């Protein structure tokens, strides 16, 4: 993929879907920013800097850093899932406004394609890919482990069924 000119002629469907999900995330971010800017124009909104120094600057910075780090971790986590597995929808994030008035991701999920093909070899490949996609991030969640476990169970069932067909 040519990143500079964004030429999509020679990329896979998964890579294209991943690129689309990134573009959708960028659009949502722009929409949220415009929405917040609309709120700021109303009379009842006070800018954080206009409040005065009735808060501890170090606390403010500590909380802001937590929001920023959480946003980075969550986006990275979900993008790892999406880049390895076949997704059925763009990445979805849950946002919260930080102390600086910006929106930060505080949660997210990606819908992986969990359908199983009829061809046993294709099914086995897809289940392996699903397991890799769900356990790829270093901070695997309970939901991620459930998907990996289900993929393993389906693979076992597939192997049992394959053994029964051979008899």
pLDDT at 138 over 80: yes
Range 43-72 average pLDDT: 76
pTM summary value: 0.60
- Gap between the Cα atoms of 109 and 107, Å rounded: 7
At CB < 8 A and 24+ separation, what contacts does 57-64 make? 60/99, 63/98, 63/99, 64/98, 64/99, 64/100
Range 64-89 average pLDDT: 92
Lowest mean pLDDT among 52-61, 70-79, 118-127, 143-152: 52-61
Range 16-31 average pLDDT: 79
Which pLDDT does position 48 carry in this prediction?
Answer: 54
pLDDT at 49 over 60: no
Share of the chain above pLDDT 90, in %: 40
């Amino acid at each position: 993929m040519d990143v500079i000119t964004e030429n999509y002629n020679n990329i896979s469907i998964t890579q294209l879907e991943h690129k689309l999900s990134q573009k959708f995330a960028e659009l949502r971010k722009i929409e949220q920013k415009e929405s917040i800017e609309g709120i700021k124009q109303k009379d009842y909104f006070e800018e954080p800097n206009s409040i005065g120094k009735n808060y501890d600057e170090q606390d403010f910075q500590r909380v802001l850093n937590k929001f920023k780090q959480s946003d980075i971790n969550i986006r990275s986590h979900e993008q790892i899932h999406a880049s390895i597995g076949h997704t059925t929808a763009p990445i979805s994030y849950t946002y919260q406004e930080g102390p600086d008035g910006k929106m930060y991701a505080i949660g997210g999920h990606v819908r992986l394609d969990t359908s199983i093909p009829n061809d046993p070899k294709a099914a086995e490949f897809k289940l392996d890919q699903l397991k890799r996609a769900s356990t790829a991030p270093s901070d695997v969640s309970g939901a991620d482990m459930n998907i990996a476990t289900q993929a393993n169970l389906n693979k076992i069932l597939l192997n049992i069924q394959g053994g029964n067909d051979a008899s």
